[in-house]
Amino acid sequence: MNTPLLEIEDLCAEVCGKQIIKDFNLTINEGEVHAIMGPNGAGKSTLSYVLCGKPGYAVTSGSVRFKGKDLLAMSVEERAREGVFLIMQYPVEIPGVPTTTFLKHAVNAVRKHQGLPELDTMEFLKMVREEGRLLGIDNEMLKRPINVGFSGGEKKRMETLEMSILKPDFAILDEADSGLDIDALKVVAEGVNRLRDGKRSMLVITHYQRLLNYIVPDFVHVFADGHIVRSGNKDLALELEQNGYAEFVKEK
């Protein structure tokens, strides 16, 4: 019934010799949306990077399986092609590389991995413009170098666009809501919800319960000091909004 998509077991990881992720355990089944909330500096972004294989983030023990395969043995690009996607808290600006060029290379790299024919320029542009329109990204923005000079909100829309066209099986949203105005929040949330098909899974990292009104999670976890300290349903988010993290941070 419940098919596990991502299985994280006793994961420990460090950055610059500093242990950040400590005995982290979490299983996400197909179709589930999990939310993670937790104080600044707890290690939420670090966890996202570890799952994507960012160089410099060293796993010291534990295991991660994705669709039953050893995720940690894969390169950054292999993970992406297998269907892991991260909406980054701070998307990177790349001067000189037009957004469409970048997106076309990404889409075709993933398609090639899936054994699908590469899209030609016309097919690609039609698809990306269509998805862009739904997210309020116009053609002018698509011609600009990727993320360069984009406002905070525009960057998050662009991340959502990338996710929409790459159609990953598992998406991590690291503060996808930060910097978004109320309307943009809805647009991004709708973009995310369009991808929810009962099979795709998501890990939603946020500081604000508001996002979870739009992207309703199946589970909410409190993340503090490198691991999950409490889990519950969507009501836990409301409780946290009321009480803050004091009880979890004190605990150690």
Ligand X SMILES: Nc1ncnc2c1ncn2[C@@H]1O[C@H](COP(=O)(O)OP(=O)(O)OP(=O)(O)O)[C@@H](O)[C@H]1O
**213 Cβ partners below 8 Å, 6+ apart?**
none
Chosen residue from 6, 11, 13, 20 binding ligand X by CB under 6 A = 20
75 binds another protein (CB under 8 A): yes
> What DSSP element (H or E) covers 45?
helix 44-52
Could you give the string, one character per residue 61-90, with x where binding to ligand X holds by CB under 6 A and - elsewhere?
----------------------------x-
Chosen residue from 58, 73, 94, 238 binding another protein by CB under 8 A = 94
Chosen residue from 26, 43, 62, 153 binding ligand X by CB under 6 A = 43
Written as six digits, the tokens of 7 are 């299985």
Chosen residue from 2, 40, 121, 242 binding ligand X by CB under 6 A = 40
Nearest to 87 by CA among 115, 128, 52: 52
42 binds ligand X (CB under 6 A): yes
Strands 18-29 and 201-205: unpaired
Strands 170-174 and 201-205: parallel
Q: Which does 18 bind (CB under 5 to 8 A by kind): another protein, Mg ion, ligand X, none?
A: ligand X
Q: How far apart are CA 238 and CA 128, in angstroms?
A: 36
Q: Which does 20 bind (CB under 5 to 8 A by kind): Mg ion, another protein, ligand X, none?
A: ligand X
Contact 179, 154 (CB under 8 A): no
Q: Write the CA distances from 126 to 34, 50, 117, 176, 188, integer angstroms.
A: 33, 34, 16, 26, 20
Q: Which does 97 bind (CB under 5 to 8 A by kind): ligand X, Mg ion, another protein, none?
A: another protein
> What DSSP element (H or E) covers 192?
helix 182-194
Stretch that binds ligand X, among 5-13, 44-52, 68-76, 239-247 (CB under 6 A): 44-52
48 binds Mg ion (CB under 5 A): no
CB of 45 to Mg ion, least distance (A): 3
Written as six digits, the tokens of 109 are 């790299």
Q: How far apart are CA 210 and CA 229, in angstroms?
A: 22
CB of 208 to another protein, least distance (A): 25
45 binds ligand X (CB under 6 A): yes
Site residues, another protein (CB under 8 A): 52, 54-55, 75-77, 79-81, 85-86, 88, 91-92, 94-97, 101-102, 105-106, 109-110, 113, 145, 162, 166
